[in-house]
Amino acid sequence: MTLSKIQAESITDGSITAPKVVSGMPVNYERVLIPPKTFSPTTLNAIPRDNTVPQISEGASYFQHNYTPKLTNSTIVVTASMHIGETLNTINVFASALFFNDSCVNVRATNSSAGNGDRGQHELSGTFSNTDGSVLDIEIRGDEYYKISLNSQLLSTGSSQNYTDASSCFGGTDSINGSCLTIVEIK
């Protein structure tokens, strides 16, 4: 069924309000770039690899974003996609965790084989039940160690094949990088 021109012209600004939105329908979509970052501490500050839920005080802050819901009662789905690489062959392990309001909702850890060019591609996701329209604090935390780089690129043409520092990614520091956070709010 299509709307006639007269019907379409009858819909005025503001006439479609939240109560008229069908349940299960997305009401907002955001895509937020996760900026490149290179870490340089010489001691490992890591997400523990044990049988405990990661805490907001563990690891290093990779990214933080506050999302203000469009509705006072909705479901918010968050997905993060990140590339983590080494600019020098240092530790060969990568872990990251997704937090909502300082509570971990998803964690991912990978180990790679020893050698140059080690990297991890992490996909993290979580669902939040919004009951009052309060701001949702979203944070990604992960391993911090000498020459681990978030959003690095394999631009090396030499034999080392290490990833570049984050500031050397395609298009510059924060242009068209591959790490992002997507937020979908559903009624």
Sign of CA dihedral 15, 16, 17, 22: positive
In a domain, 13, yes or no: no
**What sign does the dihedral 6-7-10-13 (CA atoms) show?**
negative
Q: Is residue 12 part of a domain?
A: no
Residue 161 lies in a domain: yes
Is 23 among the domain residues?
no
In a domain, 58, yes or no: yes
Domain count across the chain: 1
Range of the domain at 98: 32-186
Is residue 1 included in any domain, yes or no? no
Residue 40 lies in a domain: yes
16 found inside a domain:
no
- Closest-CA residue to 96 (of 154, 45, 130, 166): 45
pLDDT score at 1: 47
d(CA 181, CA 99): 13
CA 79 to chain centre: 6
**Distance (Å, whole) CA 180 – CA 155:** 20
Q: What is the domain-level CATH number for residue 105?
A: 2.60.120.1340
Give average pLDDT by consecutive 10-residue segment, the chain, 187 residues.
51 58 84 86 90 95 96 96 80 89 94 64 94 97 86 62 58 63 95
Between CA 86 and CA 40 the distance in angstroms is 11
- Rounded CA gap, 16 and 11, in Å? 8
